[in-house]
Structure 1
Amino acid sequence: MKIMFEKFFPDEYLGSTYKIPFEKLYEQGYRGVIFDIDNTLVPHGAPADERAKRLFQRLREIGFESCLLSNNQKKRVEMFNQEIQTHYIYNALKPARKNYLHAMEIMGTDQTNTLFVGDQLFTDVWGAKRVGIHNILVHPINPKEEIQIVLKRYLEKIVLHFYKKSKKRLKKVAN
């Protein structure tokens, strides 16, 4: 069972986008960050808030390129990006590989120095894994979601159960 789910396991799993140590990641050689928007940066459908604006300012100061990669329509992504002013791709069809690759092309990065941050395993993380970029799964900001996402969350819980179990097993082996 575990092997069946491994292709969905994130490289890292953190509580929030806003707790990611971007300075450390830059020191490790990362130069581009691709972000999902809804429930990764802000609650579903919300405009960019002060926290999101500060994050993108901080990323620019560190030296990162960034790109929003969203399955949402143009109007939603442009509304969010008004205050952020970064690269973006809407209607991305995640987990399809094409727009992850396009985002890296736009940022001038590649699989070795790009990371992806998102809140969903079956779109965000799996798409990033399919193109070979480091991915960070974050807890969704707001539990209130559209029905199709609520249904996916049940399946995600199963995968995350096996992910956490495998992490515990690796910890025991390391000790």
Structure 2
Amino acid sequence: MLQQFYPDYEADSAYGIDYKTLYRKGYRGIIFDIDNTLVPHGAPATPQAIEFFGRLRELGFQTLLLSNNKEPRVKSFADAVGASYIYKAGKPGRDGYLRAMEQMHTTKDTTLFVGDQLFTDVWGAKKCGIVTYLTRPIHPKEEIQIVLKRYLEKIVLFFYHRECRRKGK
């Protein structure tokens, strides 16, 4: 039952994933969460984020920001990094992920999702068959509802890591 929340991969940071290899493997679109995945919660786009999205475009990736946040927050970040966006996405519901793939002209087999939360980001993407990367949260300061979910995430990740060890991953 917990497997539905397991990420396909883990990464210390969205910025450290080997996107060049993923592009060679056929991936063409990346859906990103913003807060605590790319920048601390509520922070504007940083020079690092702007440069990062430029490199992704140079590789040939389509990028889209999928956020449950309101449009002003998501649009300003998307404009700064040059990505498409969907706000009030309703994660972990499937609709936002499906719309994202439609906007990028990708399929579940050519799309990746990168985010920092199991119960919204990863679960929603997995329900659509999208390969998921779970990143470590950038900053410990989070809204109370997220802090509470982090305790449950620790339990799920304990079993995930135990299964990974058992399989020799």
Query: Same fold by TM (over 0.5)?
Result: yes
1:78 aligns with 2:58: no
1:41 aligns with 2:38: yes
Deviations 1:116-174 (A, max 9, x none): 00000000000000000100000000010000000000000000000100000000xx8
Structure 1 residue runs of 5 or longer lacking an equivalent are none
Q: Matched residue of 1:68: which SS?
A: strand
TM-score, normalised to structure 2's length? Answer: 0.98
Deviations 1:23-73 (A, max 9, x none): 000000000000000000000000000111111000000000010000000
Q: Matched residue of 1:41: which SS?
A: coil
C-alpha distance in 2 between matches for 1:131 and 1:117: 14
Query: Which residue identity does 2:81 align to in structure 1?
Result: I
* TM superposition shift of 1:10: 0.2
Instruction: Select between 135-144 and 80-89 the one with higher mean Cα deviation.
Output: 80-89
* TM superposition shift of 1:82: 2.5
C-alpha distance in 2 between matches for 1:108 and 1:68: 15
Deviations 1:79-103 (A, max 9, x none): 2123112110000000000110000
Partner of 1:147: 144
Q: Matched residue of 2:88: which SS?
A: coil
C-alpha distance in 2 between matches for 1:75 and 1:67: 16
Instruction: Give the counterpart of 1:135 among 128, 132, 146.
Output: 132
Partner of 1:67: 64
Structure 2 residue runs of 5 or longer lacking an equivalent are none
1:158 aligns with 2:155: yes
TM-score, normalised to structure 1's length? Answer: 0.95
C-alpha distance in 2 between matches for 1:90 and 1:157: 27
Runs of 4+ with deviation above 3 angstroms: none
Partner of 1:98: 95
C-alpha distance in 2 between matches for 1:81 and 1:158: 33
The percent of aligned pairs where both chains have the same amino acid is 59
C-alpha distance in 2 between matches for 1:149 and 1:99: 20
CA RMSD of the aligned region, Å? 0.8
